A = this chain, B = another copy of it.
Amino acid sequence: MASEPVPVFSKPVTLRDVAAQAGVSVATASKALNDQGRMTAETRERIRETARRLGFRPNSLAQSLLRRRSFTVGLLTNDTYGRFSLPLMSGISDALVDNGVSVFLCNVEEDPRLGQMHVDAMLDKRVDGIIATGKRIDRHLPVDLSNLRVPVIYAFTQPDPDAIAFVSDDAGGARLAVEHLCRLGRRRIAHVTGPASFAVVHARAQAYRDVLAENGLPVTEPLLGSWSEAWGHEAVAQLFDSRNERPDAVFCGNDQIARGVIDALRERGLNVPNDVGVIGFDNWEIVAEATRPPLTSVDMNLVALGREAGLTLLSLVGGQPAAPGIRKLPCRLVVRQSCGHPLDG
């Protein structure tokens, strides 16, 4: 059927062009050309005719996709609260929706049997690939994802060796926070964070120390505790009851700690941000926007991280190689009102 003339020297015709011309979605166009999906015979034929007429030639990626795609991606998580997984899922979905790909999320909790069952179900359903995610980057999901017949990508969870993984750059995020406080003229910056059992606690604490040293500021030892508001309260008591010089800023390991810190400071009659600037981590909006004043916080860019993971998976599915290893994606600082303006002198 290659008898019709193909435009030469013009931009190649894409699946998107075919879809637009046929008045259907890219997903539907792809499915029609791939003999997949549910549609009337008329629709399928109309799309094929459009593709022929435009001289559509699937590129190798597209061809590969057309051969083997099921247009679904499995997302495995053990993040029961969804704080980390749902933004990530939204990013993956964003990246794949234009390709007509649906993301199916399964919760494996902490149960290897459940994990195996869900992985089996995903493979039975011929997902194009699997993305594993979790609630912390230093723990592996309770499930073996090596040697599957589909590509696997890790995002915000500990990967297998030699796998492809995306995580947020925790040290970089901590740098953003502490540098912001330095830039505003804060000179006695404390760090109140979570338990020592979390790798991110150490990564962020080291960045905190580094930035203070680079700025010639005194380093006080980070206070380690739990990821809770109650710990924020307690840490303020420790920091402000002592005879040492009081901090003029607190960099907190998450937004809940920061919430506790801000409330405790207010109750001591200290003004945030005038007396003490406070920064959180996670940019969990429901917390960060409810603190008084609203909380400046480090955002791990999980939506963008999900988008990257989704696009990379798509290209693996299409047969394009990708180098193994851990990619650290940058965080960003979301500035609200808890750090104030630059201090004078």
Residues on A lying within 8 angstroms of B by beta carbon are 25, 27, 36-38, 70-72, 74, 80-82, 85-86, 89-90, 93, 97, 100, 102-107, 113-114, 117-118, 120-125, 228-230, 256, 259, 263, 286, 290
In contact, B81 and A286 (Cβ under 8 angstroms): yes
* Contacts A80-B90, A286-B81; A121 near B106 (Cβ below 8 A): no
In contact, B117 and A102 (Cβ under 8 angstroms): yes
Give CA–CA (A5, B123) in the complex, Å. 39
Q: Which residues of the partner chain B approach A37 to less than 8 Å between Cβ atoms?
A: 120, 124
Give CA–CA (A333, B154) in the complex, Å. 40
Q: Which residues of the partner chain B approach A90 to less than 8 Å between Cβ atoms?
A: 80, 107
In contact, B102 and A105 (Cβ under 8 angstroms): no
In contact, B80 and A86 (Cβ under 8 angstroms): yes
Closest residue on chain B to residue A89 by CB atoms = B107
Q: Which residues of the partner chain B approach A263 to less than 8 Å between Cβ atoms?
A: 263
Interface centre among A81, A104, A286 (most CB of B within 10 A): A104
Contact check: which of B72, B86, B106, B228 meets A102 at CB < 8 Å? Answer: B106
Give the number of times this chain occurs in the complex, counting copies.
2
In contact, B107 and A104 (Cβ under 8 angstroms): no
Give CA–CA (A228, B292) in the complex, Å. 13
Contact check: which of B81, B102, B229, B256 meets A118 at CB < 8 Å? Answer: B102
Closest residue on chain B to residue A75 by CB atoms = B105
Give CA–CA (A229, B290) in the complex, Å. 7
Min CB distance, A116 to chain B, in Å? 9
Give CA–CA (A85, B86) in the complex, Å. 11
Q: Which residues of the partner chain B approach A113 to less than 8 Å between Cβ atoms?
A: 25
Contact check: which of B85, B117, B123, B125 meets A27 at CB < 8 Å? Answer: B117
Q: Which residues of the partner chain B approach A85 to less than 8 Å between Cβ atoms?
A: 82
In contact, B38 and A120 (Cβ under 8 angstroms): yes
Q: Which residues of the partner chain B approach A124 to less than 8 Å between Cβ atoms?
A: 36-38, 70-71
Q: Which residues of the partner chain B approach A123 to less than 8 Å between Cβ atoms?
A: 38
Give CA–CA (A27, B118) in the complex, Å. 11
25 A–B pairs (Cβ distance < 8 Å), ordered by A: A25-B113, A36-B124, A37-B120, A38-B120, A71-B121, A72-B121, A72-B125, A81-B82, A81-B286, A82-B82, A82-B85, A89-B107, A90-B107, A97-B114, A100-B117, A102-B106, A102-B117, A102-B121, A103-B106, A104-B105, A104-B106, A104-B121, A228-B290, A256-B290, A259-B290
Give CA–CA (A25, B85) in the complex, Å. 28
Give CA–CA (A124, B104) in the complex, Å. 13
Min CB distance, A315 to chain B, in Å? 20
